[in-house]
Structure 1
Amino acid sequence: MKLMSVSVLSVFLLSSTAAYSADDIAAQVVPQVAAPLNADSRIWRAPDFKNQKDFLGYSDTAFAVPKGMEKQVQFWVDIYSKYTTSQGVIHDMDNVETIYEVVDFKDLKTDREKQKKIDTVKKEIAIRLKMDKPTAERMRFQLGQKDRMQAAIFYSGRYIEDMEKIFREAKVPTELTRLAFVESSFNIMARSKVGASGIWQIMPYTARPYKMISASVDKRNHPLEATKLAAKLLRQNYSMLESWPLAVTGYNHGPTGVKKMTSEYKTKDLAHLIENVDSRRSFGFASRNFYACFMAVLEVEKNASAYFGSVVWSKPLDSQDLKLPTAVKYKDLVKWFDGDLEKAQVFNPHLTALVTKRGYAIPKYTVVSVPKDKYNIALISLAHRERSIAADEKRTR
């Protein structure tokens, strides 16, 4: 199985309080664990966002690019569709469409070598353009994402149709399922330095009121359980902010912080808040660009065949859910995967390291996923285990 890391941009956009600099070029997550792109593929389907008129806050223009953000969105469209992870651009942090130079990494191997080249090119640009110190300090490097976006579209095929169903049932616009591209590039193993986790990059304090996290099970890492929570959170954001651009921005920045800004500056125009000199001080780079990134992935995914040529989806995982009638060790679960540890992890990313690494039992009543062709074998094995436990308890009594 090929290992693939999550988008650097996606990691940076996890939180406006990210602890690393805008120039970090190494992904701050556990690598993706998934099959190669040519394995288990199926025909890709362009998204269909029709029949949503009664959905929360929906209209034909609900997800049109806000006036004044066109150049910002185009910058991110280019990042997702033009530049690969072997290159990137040095641009102005406040005016992202101002690109000073394209940097190529194809002959460089280590992150240290890449960072050194970035620093060198920045100095050369500052000297060449005779920049003052504030302008030079606004230079930022952004790694290209074209190949990662292609891979993310492939991996999304495992879950996107079920995710759309969850959002439709919640009457939340299905366009919003594409936030997972921005948050994690559909990397189910995405873990940020600040604690966000899973394809929706949900923070622990956000998940705890919904009883998503225990010592053995973290449902933030279960793609569909996390999607259910994301739909609830976005619905709450919209109820507070009454605008999808603001509600989406609130997913990153925090809805209370966005609400405070709209009250202070007496506007619900996201473009105005981003451009306003005073209000932008309340926004980090990630928050200012979060909605533009979302707009960009909507555009790129919708027209993926035009941007990338041949596009395929992964087939959905051939899995079946099973509610454990008794506690089970992870090593016994892996037996139902013929000993394939990586496959067991892909099917069950919600099991924590206490279970997968330290040998703690998976608690009784936990829902796990097993291969469909091993479902009956698993049931028989569990029935034997239950009888054995019952016999032991009887002998003890």
Structure 2
Amino acid sequence: MFEGDPIKEDPVTEPTPPDEEKVGTLEEDTPLAQTEVRGGKSLTGTRRYREPDFSGQDKALGYGPNAFNVPKGMEKQVAFWKDIYAKYSTDQGILHDIENLDIVYGEVDFRPINADPDLTFRQKEKKKQKLVDEKKNEIREILLKLDKVQSSDGLNEFDKKIWNLFQNVNEPDKFKDAAEKHRVRFQLGQKDRMQSAIFFSGRYLEDMEKIFRDAGLPIELTRLVFVESSFNVLARSKVGASGLWQIMRYTARPYKMVTSAVDLRNHPISATKLAAKLLRDNYNLLKDWPLALTGYNHGPTGVRKLTEKYKTRNIADLIQNVTSRKSFGFASRNFYACFLAVHEVEMNATKYFPRATWSQPLDQEEIKLPIAVKYKDLQTWFDGNDEKTQVFNPHINRGRRLTTTIPAKTLVAIPKELYSQALTALARGVFKYSPDSVPQLKSADTPSGPEIKAATPADTEQ
């Protein structure tokens, strides 16, 4: 009914998506299509994939041999998300019960629609939405039919399959309840995005790991970026989260990271430093990494209140308990499971993606501008290539980038081979503008970012 052909591994491709794209995998109703991870594969060379090395972390905050093991009671959740990241591509998805992730009704295959050359993008989206809606309604009708029978005798093969999926659900109205509109959920696959994310992670992970090591934090935490943005440095969400770590503007505001011209939420290093601080603060409040990571999505104060209300600090208990789970949205109660799933998939990347490779780091140098420079002039160091300029400088405001003047003292990245040329041009004042065209920023308005200190023994006190 839902099955398609075996999934073939897709190579990393050159993306050309719109400015705003859907990121992450945890929307209540996931999109029916997602653009490729942005960043331009051709901007860097390819290198051998480096398997993760999490050794030498005995002194990391809250670390131990079982720090990121799958908690008892979350095995089915993690298995579900592993399939999403390593089995199903963005050409496919699955229909499942939103409360019991091990109840998977079947697959939805979009490949015939996507391959139709006579359809526009919008027409494809409409056809895919129609297909998903039809499949959801079919499932609901079957569930309502099963609610009226006492046994599986006489059922056809597919109806009996659904009956058997609920064998371990001990609720009197289990089929009727499962037929409610919000219960049958569609989840788009992410395999090809995960493969692309592994490639692009080669540009940033080594720097991220150093920041977390220097801060005394477990470097496994850097893998949260797979969940948040798929290592898409140009990711922006419809709710306003931005950058690799999908940081909200109000979260960055106390650290003076955002001005009209510059948004350091999108700077890989600055954003990673802030994420490290936020995660450490979460841990110091909650004293537990599963709770601290859940707090990154749900809010640490909200998580603490739930632990106090339900008198448990066990993440599995909180999200599985019939009462407490209602305090979490779908995203929050699956956030830690997603993190564990991508962690396991990356640990076994060569199994799931035999051709996995890493990107070379961006071959760049950073310059602190001695004078203000217009964005269009910054582009001259990138052969006028706007995407390349963005990838090297994702922190320059994209909404106004073509008319933006970048203030003096802003750090900008340029190709390493043009470093001397750029220094000379700036020193000679090649770029001259009228005073009215240059934004005058007070020192308090200059983006700075957080200061990150190493963890201290006091941080680990229980």
Same fold (TM over 0.5): yes
SS of 1:271's partner is helix
Aligned counterpart, 1:360 = 404
The residue aligned with 1:98 is 103
Please point out which of 234, 237, 254 is paired with 2:282. 237
Counterpart of 1:349? 394
Cα gap change, 1:9 to 1:383, in 2 (>3 Å): closer
Question: Following TM superposition, by how much is the alpha carbon of 1:9 offset from its aligned partner in structure 2, in angstroms?
Answer: 6.8
Contact 1:65 1:295 in 2 (8 A): yes
Deviations 1:6-41 (A, max 9, x none): 99671536xxxxxxx4243244xx874322379611
Q: Which residue of 1 aligns with 2:165?
A: none
Change (3 A) 1:261 1:52: same
CA–CA separation in structure 2 for the residues paired with 1:231 and 1:167: 6
Paired letter, 1:233: L
Residue 119 of structure 1 is matched in structure 2 by 133
Contact 1:31–1:190 (8 Å) recurs in 2: no
Secondary structure of 2:428 counterpart? helix
Q: Secondary structure at the match of 1:100?
A: strand
Aligned to 1:370: 414
- 1:394 match: none
Determine if contact 1:179/1:294 at 8 Å carries over to the other structure: yes
Distance 1:222 1:168 in 2: 19
The equivalent of 1:25 in structure 2 is 32
Given candidates 234, 243, 255, the residue that maps to 1:189 is 234
Structure 2: which amino acid aligns with 1:202? Answer: I
Q: Normalized against structure 1, the TM-score is what?
A: 0.91
In structure 2, distance between residues paired with 1:164 and 1:305: 21
Counterpart mapping for 1:162-201 below 5 A = 162-201=207-246
Q: Percent identity?
A: 57
Given the superposition, is the C-alpha separation of residues 262 and 7 from structure 1 closer, same or farther in structure 2, using an over 3 Å criterion? farther
- Residue type matched to 2:113 in 1? L
Contact kept in structure 1, 2:21 and 2:237, CA below 8 Å: no
In structure 1, how many angstroms separate the alpha carbons of the residues matched to 2:112 and 2:42? 24
2-structure distance, mates of 1:311, 1:32: 15
Whether the 8 Å contact between 2:241 and 2:249 is mirrored in structure 1 is yes
Equivalent position SS for 1:107? helix
Worse-matched range after superposition: 283-292 or 185-194: 185-194
Q: How many residues align?
A: 380
Match for residue 268 of structure 1? Answer: 313
Q: Name the residue aligned to 1:3.
A: 16
1:62 is aligned, of 67, 70, 74, to 67
Q: Where has structure 1 moved over 6 Å in runs of 4 or more? A: 386-389
Q: Does the 8 Å CA contact 1:164/1:177 hold for their aligned counterparts? A: yes
**Structure 1: runs of 5+ lacking an equivalent:** 14-20, 390-397
1:131-172 deviations in Å (ceiling 9; x for gaps): 655312211000011111000000111000000000001111
After TM superposition, give the deviation of residue 3 of structure 1 in Å: 2.6
Larger Rg: 2
Once residues 389 and 112 of structure 2 are traced to their aligned partners in structure 1, the CA distance between those partners, rounded to angstroms, is: 36
Provide the C-alpha distance between the structure 2 equivalents of 1:214 and 1:33, rounded to a whole number of angstroms.
Answer: 24
Look up the match of 1:292. Answer: 337
* 3-state DSSP of counterpart to 1:102: strand
What residue in structure 1 maps to residue 295 of structure 2?
250
Q: Structure 1 residues 38 and 220 mapped into 2: Cα distance closer, same or farther (>3 Å)?
A: closer
Match in the other structure for 1:393: none
Secondary structure of 1:216's aligned partner: coil
- What SS does the corresponding residue of 1:186 show, helix, strand or coil? coil
- Structure 2 vs 1, CA of residues 122 and 387 (structure 1 numbering), >3 Å: closer, same or farther? closer
For 1:340 and 1:9, locate their aligned partners in 2 and report how far apart those are by CA, in whole Å.
Answer: 24
Distance 2:103 2:399 in 1: 47
Asked if 1 retains the 8 angstrom alpha-carbon contact of 2:22 and 2:238, the reply is no
Asked if the contact 1:7–1:185 (Cα under 8 Å) also holds between the matched residues in 2, the reply is no
Return the offset for 1:340. Answer: 1.6
**Residues 388 and 122 from structure 1, CA distance in 2 versus in 1: closer, same or farther, beyond 3 angstroms?**
closer
Of the three residues 82, 88, 91, the one matched with 1:83 is 88
CA offset digits 1:84-118 (Å, max 9, x no partner): 11111000101111100111000113221111111
Q: Which amino acid aligns with 1:3?
A: T
- Cα separation, 2, equivalents of 1:52 and 1:144: 33
Secondary structure, aligned partner of 2:93 = strand
SS in 1 for 2:24: helix
Which amino acid in structure 2 is aligned with residue 22 of structure 1? Answer: D
Q: 2-side partners of 1:360 and 1:23: how far apart?
A: 34
Counterpart residue identity of residue 93, structure 1: I
- The answer to whether residue 306 in structure 2 is matched with residue 282 in structure 1 is no
Output one character per residue of 1:179-236: Cα deviation in whole Å (capped at 9) or x when no partner. Answer: 0000010111111111110010001110000111111000001111100000000000
Structure 2: give runs of 5+ residues left out of the alignment.
Answer: 1-13, 115-123, 148-174, 434-462
Q: 1:89 to 1:388 in 2, by over 3 A?
A: closer
Task: For 2:247 and 2:97, locate their aligned partners in 1 and report how far apart those are by CA, in whole Å.
Answer: 29
What is the TM-score normalised by the length of structure 2? 0.79
